[in-house]
A and B are shown apart, each in its own frame.
Chain A
Amino acid sequence: MRVVEVLGSGCAKCQYVERLVREVVNEAGIEADVRHVTDYAEIAARGVLATPGLAIDGLVVIAGRIPSREQVATWLGVV
């Protein structure tokens, strides 16, 4: 199962990224554990300085920008 973590403080952009990820996951019908990490210490420990960030299976793939739907699908390997 893929582990997808949205790294964000709960700001509007971070909520948006979480919704986007859940949508891609639901549409592709894959098993994924989507979490929202809001602990600042944890976010910084991942090397993310600007939120929202996104980590897939523990690897940070984007930070400080909102990914596109296509990017999320590519990272999850569901294209």
Chain B
Amino acid sequence: MTSVVARRAHVPLPLVVGAAATAWLVAWLVNLPAAEWLAFTVLGLGRGSQLGDAVAFFLYDVPKVLLLLAGVVTLVSFIRSFVSPERVRLALARRGAVPGTVAAAGFGMVTPFCSCSAVPLFIGFVEAGVPLGVTFAFLVASPMVNEVALVLLWGLFGPGIALAYMAAGLGVAIVAGLVIGRLGLERHVEDYVWKIRAGSAIGELRPTLEERVHDAWRSTLDIVKRVFPFVVAGIAIGAAIHGFVPSELVVSLGGRDNPLAVPALVLLGVPLYSNAAGTIPIVEALLDKGLPLGSALAFMMAVTALSVPELVILRRVMKPSLIATFVAVVASGILLVGYGFNLLIS
């Protein structure tokens, strides 16, 4: 029987971390010259020609994004090992509506969330006495505002847009949480949820430092592997948009003069199930072609915050009326962000 886990030889931790950091730094420094050498010398494409520049851009951009992802995801995963959802829910159950909602959105930003955990997480929060609105703030912020999205936005557009996205995403999560909390929708949660008496006695052992580092590395490999095809496809589609879609088309369809552009982009974004990583390169190309910032952010938020598979999973704990309210409230928040940014930044 082949083993699913290779047994590791024991190497001292500082040595492993130091070697990994050095390798990362070397790859980061070598990336640009290597991409140009490959495109212009090995492939013999003309420097300054359209194809040559596109290929060099692609060869530079893919490793750059992957390196950024690997570096930041490893760091954040390590920090995350100190913030478990069990502790978050204890912290949230003791707060009032407004501070609880704000804290939940903040925790959502740093806490891992996989749509397959959405249901036990929801039950666990609600059962521990976390108010419904606070729980929703967490569920909205978690997939939308995370380190992968922020790294990619920062790397491709700079800190301004990354911070704007973060603030807007947290704003949508907080407002959605407050509104849903005010609506008093507890009876639209499936009845069996209220009957569960969750145990909280987890005899979990605290992981050692080495386990935390090892876990961080493993989840980084996992995330990068999962995100990689999206990044490559996204950058390729982005490159195609760069080359072939005329700016006039993007501006006339998605520009400020078309008031329906923002809702149309949100509607387009919901059925698209992707993560931030796959969406951002496309958004980059569209921005480049003149799509206003608000419209681009709204599109990205719709893709990440509202997804059909997650709604299907949440159906197990929520009645359709609650799911519909959730979608309507979050979509309205995203629309406000879209129109707001389009008005403010022109």
Contacts and interface: CB of A to CB of B under 8 A. Distances in A.
A28 B192 CA distance: 40
Contact of A46 (B3, B199, B211): B199
Given A23-B4, A49-B117, A50-B85, A61 B205 contact: yes
Of the four ranges (under 10, 10 to 19, 20 to 34, 35 or more), the interface on chain B belongs to 35 or more
A9 B119 contact: yes
B11 interface: no
Interface in B141-193: 192-193
B198 interface: yes
B96 to A, nearest CB: 22
Given A20-B4, A64-B85, A69-B7, A50 B204 contact: no
Contact of A49 (B3, B85, B215, B317): B85
Contacts of B49: none
Contact of A63 (B4, B86, B89, B196): B86
B121 interface: yes
Interface residues of A, number: 32
A50 B121 contact: yes
A19 B238 CA distance: 40
B4 A19 contact: yes
Contacts of A66: 215, 218
B214 interface: yes
Nearest to B113: A50
B100 interface: no
A40 B1 contact: no
Contacts, number: 100
Nearest to A56: B203
A23 B127 contact: no
Contacts of A11: 114, 116
B316 interface: yes
Contact of B121 (A49, A62, A68, A69): A49
Contact of A47 (B119, B201, B214): B201
A20 B203 contact: no
A55 B263 CA distance: 46
Contacts of B81: 65
Interface in A18-38: 19-20, 23, 26
B202 A43 contact: no
Interface string B300-319: 00000000000000001100
The 3 closest A-B pairs by CB, nearest first: A44-B123, A49-B124, A11-B116
Interface of B: 1, 3-5, 7, 81, 84-86, 89, 112, 114, 116-117, 119-121, 123-125, 127, 192-193, 196-205, 207, 211, 214-215, 218, 316-317
Interface of A: 8-11, 14, 16, 19-20, 23, 26, 40-41, 43-51, 59-66, 68-69, 71
Given A59-B203, A62-B204, A65-B81, 20 more contacts: A19-B4, A20-B5, A26-B1, A40-B120, A40-B316, A43-B120, A44-B124, A44-B127, A46-B198, A46-B199, A48-B120, A49-B117, A50-B117, A50-B120, A51-B120, A60-B199, A60-B202, A63-B202, A66-B215, A68-B5
